[in-house]
Amino acid sequence: ILWMRRQRVLRRLLRKYRQQKKIDKHLYHYFYRHAKGNCYKNKRVLVEAIHKMKAEKTKAKALQEQQEARKEKAKLLKAKKAAKRDEALKA
């Protein structure tokens, strides 16, 4: 009976977060499955896990954007060097 009550609390929280757009459907599914698998002993632990996962996702996204910016900068620099080299060969 205690396990059922805990499950209902956790699932209710997950539904609320999904409706408020705090988590997307993929995170919802991930946390729903883990809640069913008895990974979270109470609501506080689940909320902490959600915040941690969201922070990791935003950090990974920021790193991805930085990497893309670096690649673009390198590509532009390479094109500029190639143009400069062509100019030097023609002259």
pLDDT score for 31: 94
- Give the model's confidence band at 87: pLDDT under 50 very low, under 70 low, under 90 confident, else very high: confident
Average pLDDT, the chain: 92
**Which of 70, 69, 31 has its CA nearest to residue 49?**
31
* ∠ Cα 46 12 38 (to 5°): 45
pLDDT 10s digits, 42-58: 999 999 999 999 999 99
Please state, for a pLDDT cut of 90, what percent of the chain lies above it.
79
The C-alpha torsion from 45 through 51 and 54 to 58, rounded to 10°, is: -150
- Give the model's confidence band at 89: pLDDT under 50 very low, under 70 low, under 90 confident, else very high: confident
Q: What is the pTM of this model?
A: 0.71
pLDDT score for 88: 85
Say yes or no to pLDDT of 91 above 80. Answer: no
